[in-house]
Amino acid sequence: MNDFTLIRKNLFRKKMRAILLIFSIMIAFLIFGALGAFYSVWTAGTSTAADNRLVTVNRINFTVSMPYAYWGRVQGVEGVTHVSHASWFGGYYQEPANFIQTFAVDPESYLAVYPELTMPDEQRAAFINTRDCLLVGADLAGQYGWSVGDRIPLLSNIWQKQDGSSSWDFNICAIFDAEDEKVPANYAIFQYDYYNEALAFNRDNIGWMVLTTADSSLNESVGREIDALFANSPAETETSTEAAFNEAFIAQLGNIALILLFVVGAAFLTILMIVGTTMVMAINERTKEIGVMKTLGFPAPRIFRMVLIESILLSLVGGALGLGLASLLITGAAAAMSGFLPGLAMPATVLLIGAGLALALGFITGIIPAINAQRVTIVNALGKL
């Protein structure tokens, strides 16, 4: 009988206790894996942001619009290669529950600023030249079963047309995707002119500007020059990198990282106390057996190693089950949520961090019982017989 056999038999000597401990650890890692995957896709905008892409918004808040004329003035700033603009439409399809991220943009310049958006050349030309064209992301098209040639209405709960209607009719003439699966393809864009000419209010205004610089080293100077152009105006601006803008946008929804830390931290702290206390009790129950093992010639370091490995094995089994279930959960949710969270998957980094946490959890909960087992003396252990 080798050491591993002894470790396995000791681990499952009380099957119900072992199963409950593994189940507790599994739940903690299930929570960690699922939240880690959601956090990864939620913050993907910061990792896919181009180094030389800047975003200019109204200094008051990015929800406050700016004059359309700003777009033309920014085009003349030295160091700017492309500049476009976008406006939030806030659309939904058929009923408010079918919310769709929709933006009114300048077609040609928008595609120049976002070269990662791919589509057939004929569809690109159709989007640029067709006034009522709706360019739809592949994930969004898959969610609603749309295809090129479909004609659909989009309604807005914000904007109204001059005739009192809040419905815009569109022809889906193009569907875009991206080679990088982290680049979102769950939104739709259409021509600003088509939108602006029908607006009942807030005409000739834009939501924000997106621009690229000749080199990322010019970002700071270009941003300062743009903001200086509109200083002391009714609509002062604030220019930042796309990554910084995406982080600020996420921050509006709350500190997701802090929430994740509290939830996962609370789960792991609870499991740490449960497993640690149980392991101490389990070793105390085996004091006589440890005394017998030492009598038979088992050295203290070997007993220390066996107890510590037992704790680590317990943690690894629970962690592997939890991360495995989390992967299955995310795989099942990915298809259902492709329109809302495209690219949802279990990142390898989450699995690696989870494996590291499982090892750490096993070590922390096993180190004290292992030391106690190592210190057991034959006289004290067998004296209780």
Q: What is the pLDDT of residues 170-221, one digit of tens each?
A: 999 999 998 777 777 888 999 999 999 989 888 999 999 999 999 989 999 9
pTM above 0.85, yes or no: no
Looking at the structure, tell me whether residues 209 and 352 fall in a common domain. Answer: no
Q: How far apart are CA 72 and CA 85, in angstroms?
A: 10
Q: Which residue, 107, 113, 112, is CA-closest to 133?
A: 107
Averaged pLDDT of the chain: 84
Looking at the structure, tell me whether residues 222 and 315 fall in a common domain. Answer: no
The answer to whether residue 245 sits within a structural domain is no
The answer to whether residue 72 sits within a structural domain is yes
- Out of 227-236, 265-274, 301-310, which region has the weakest mean confidence (pLDDT)? 265-274
Task: Report the percentage of the chain scoring pLDDT > 70.
Answer: 89
Determine how many CB atoms are found less than 10 A away from the CB of residue 9. 10
The answer to whether residue 226 sits within a structural domain is yes
Last residue of a domain, one of 204, 234, 264: 234
- Tell me, what's the pLDDT at 42? 64
Beta-carbon contacts of 150 under 8 Å, excluding residues fewer than 6 positions away, are: 171, 172
Looking at the structure, tell me whether residues 183 and 36 fall in a common domain. Answer: no
- Tell me, what's the pLDDT at 249? 63
Amino acid at 363: F
Average pLDDT over residues 19-32: 87
Last residue of a domain, one of 181, 199, 234: 234
Looking at the structure, tell me whether residues 72 and 220 fall in a common domain. Answer: yes
- Tell me, what's the pLDDT at 371? 86
More confident residue, 268 or 197: 197
Residue 137, beta-bridge partner list: 176
The answer to whether residue 147 sits within a structural domain is yes
Q: Which residue, 234, 195, 318, is CA-closest to 58?
A: 234
Which of 13-17, 227-231, 257-261 has the highest mean predicted lDDT (pLDDT)? 227-231
Q: Which residue, 354, 232, 374, 250, is CA-closest to 308?
A: 374
Full domain range(s) for residue 347: 3-44+255-382
Average pLDDT over residues 62-90: 91
Using the predicted structure, report yes or no on whether residue 45 has a pLDDT greater than 60. Answer: no
Looking at the structure, tell me whether residues 185 and 259 fall in a common domain. Answer: no
Looking at the structure, tell me whether residues 206 and 82 fall in a common domain. Answer: yes
Beta-carbon contacts of 13 under 8 Å, excluding residues fewer than 6 positions away, are: none
Looking at the structure, tell me whether residues 316 and 349 fall in a common domain. Answer: yes
Looking at the structure, tell me whether residues 10 and 140 fall in a common domain. Answer: no
Q: How far apart are CA 71 and CA 81, in angstroms?
A: 13
Total of domains in the chain: 2
The answer to whether residue 195 sits within a structural domain is yes
Using the predicted structure, report yes or no on whether residue 303 has a pLDDT greater than 90. Answer: no
Looking at the structure, tell me whether residues 331 and 273 fall in a common domain. Answer: yes
- Tell me, what's the pLDDT at 323? 92
- Tell me, what's the pLDDT at 376? 75
Task: Report the percentage of the chain scoring pLDDT > 90.
Answer: 36
Looking at the structure, tell me whether residues 106 and 228 fall in a common domain. Answer: yes
The answer to whether residue 39 sits within a structural domain is yes
Confidence label for 256 from pLDDT (cuts 50, 70 and 90): low
The answer to whether residue 60 sits within a structural domain is no
Looking at the structure, tell me whether residues 266 and 353 fall in a common domain. Answer: yes
Looking at the structure, tell me whether residues 371 and 265 fall in a common domain. Answer: yes
Confidence label for 364 from pLDDT (cuts 50, 70 and 90): confident
- Out of 34-38, 228-232, 235-239, which region has the weakest mean confidence (pLDDT)? 34-38
